[in-house]
Amino acid sequence: MRNILVTGGAGFIGSNLVDTLLAEGDWNVTVVDDFNDFYSPDIKRANITEHLKSRYYNLVELDIRDASALERLFAVVSFDVIVHLAARAGVRPSLSEPKLYAETNINGTLNLLELARIHGIEQFVFGSSSSVYGVNEKVPFAEDDQISRPISPYAATKAAGELICHTYSHLYGIRMVCLRFFTVYGARQRPDLAIHKFSRLITDGKPIQVFGDGTTRRDYTYVDDIIQGVRAAIDYDGSQYEIFNLGESQTTELSELIELIERSLDMKAVIDRRPMQPGDVPTTFADISKSRELLGYSPTTKIAEGIPKFVEWFRSHS
C-alpha cells in the first residue's frame, strides 16, 4: 500500500479522484480539505460520504495556508505522492478577492512544496488551469505557448504555481507534473459553474445570465476523462518536470451548450443578456497531442453525451 495525499479531496475533481484510488485498493488515501464557504460545505461532505466508510481513507480538515497544521500532518504520515488540487477557484471571484487567491493558491502551494522537499517526496501533481493561456490567439493551445499575459488574478496564481513547481523540481529533484484542466463538468460539479448553475436555474424557471452574445467557446471536459489524466500523472516518470493539457480537444459555443442543456432537461431557458465580464476569455481549446503521447490520455466523452449524463446526476441529487 502506498500513501497518497490529495488536497482539495472533498471537492469536485478531488472526490472523483478519491473514488478511483479507493477502488484500486492499492492506496492509503489522506484527504486535506478546509470545507470553506466558497460554496456550501454540505455539498463537499456529501461528496465524501462513501469515502468515510473506507479504512483506507483519512480526512484531515485544515487550510493549506496553515503551514504548522500541514507540518503536523507530515510528521505522522509518510507520503509517496502528493496530488495538489486545493485552490481558490474561479476567474470572476478572483477579481474581488485577489489577496485571498494569492494567499491560498501561491502560499498554500509553497507550503506543500516545502514539505515535499523536507520529507523527500518524489512525485508531486499540481492542478493548474487553462486560464493560464489568457487571450491566446493561437488555437488549439499547446503547453509551450506563451503564458506571460494572464487576464485574471486566478490565472496569474495558477501560472505562478507552475513556476514555483518548476523551481522545486530543478533545485530538489522532485518530479513535478502540472495539469492544465479545461472546463471540467460532470457528477459533483461545483454549483457556481455554468453547466450546473444553468441546469438549476432552468429547472427553477429562473433566467440564466449569458455574458456576451453567446459565441464564446469552451473546451468542456467530462470529469471521468480528467480523472483518467490525473491518474496517469500519478504514475508518470518520463521526466522531472512536465506540463500537460487535459481537455476534450474540441470546442462548444455557449449558445450550443445552452441548447444541449435545454434538450436534456426538456425545458427552455430564459436568457438574461449581460455584457462580457472582465477576466473572461473568448475561447479555450486544448491541444492534447502531448498528453496522448506521454500520458496515454484518451478522452472519450463528447459534450453531446456528457451533458445528458450530467443532467441525470443533477436530477438525482437536486
Distance CA 307, CA 301 (A): 10
Predicted local distance difference test score (pLDDT) of residue 218: 96
Find the mean pLDDT for residues 267-294.
92
Catalytic residue among 133, 154, 185, 297: 154
Asked whether residue 202 is domain-assigned, the answer is no
Could you tell me how far CA 306 lies from the centroid of its own chain? Answer: 17
Asked whether residue 254 is domain-assigned, the answer is no
User: Which residues, 6 or more positions from 124, have their beta carbon under 8 angstroms from its beta carbon?
Assistant: 81, 82, 84, 112, 113, 116, 165, 168, 174, 175, 176, 177
Nearest to 260 by CA among 224, 287, 220, 298: 220
Question: How confident is residue 238, by pLDDT bands cut at 50, 70 and 90?
Answer: very high
Asked whether residue 34 is domain-assigned, the answer is yes
Question: How confident is residue 188, by pLDDT bands cut at 50, 70 and 90?
Answer: very high
Nearest to 184 by CA among 248, 256, 250: 248
Asked whether residue 24 is domain-assigned, the answer is yes
Asked whether residue 12 is domain-assigned, the answer is yes
Give the tens place of pLDDT for each residue, 107-142: 999 999 999 999 999 999 999 999 999 999 899 999
The DSSP secondary-structure symbol of 286 reads B
Asked whether residue 271 is domain-assigned, the answer is no
Give the tens place of pLDDT for each residue, 136-153: 989 999 999 999 999 999
Of 93-107, 138-152, 222-236, 270-284, which gets the smallest average pLDDT? 270-284
Cis peptide leading into residue 207 (ω within 30°): no
Find the mean pLDDT for residues 143-165.
97
Question: How confident is residue 198, by pLDDT bands cut at 50, 70 and 90?
Answer: very high
Predicted local distance difference test score (pLDDT) of residue 192: 94
Indicate which CATH number applies to the domain containing 125: 3.40.50.720
Distance CA 86, CA 97 (A): 17
* 222 within 8 A of 264, measured Cβ to Cβ: no
Q: Is 178 left (phi over 0), alpha (psi -120 to 50) or beta?
A: beta
Catalytic residue at 133?
no
Q: Is 90 left (phi over 0), alpha (psi -120 to 50) or beta?
A: left
- The whole-model pTM stands at 0.96
Asked whether residue 307 is domain-assigned, the answer is no
Beta-strand (E) ranges in the chain? 2-7, 27-33, 57-61, 81-84, 123-129, 175-181, 184-185, 208-211, 217-218, 221-222, 241-246, 252-253, 271-274
Domain total in the chain = 1
Asked whether residue 268 is domain-assigned, the answer is no
The three-state DSSP-derived secondary structure of 25-43 is: CCEEEEEEECCCCCCCHHH
In degrees and rounded to multiples of 5, residue 60 shows phi and psi of: -125, 115
- By residue range, what is the domain housing residue 24? 2-185+222-246+286-299
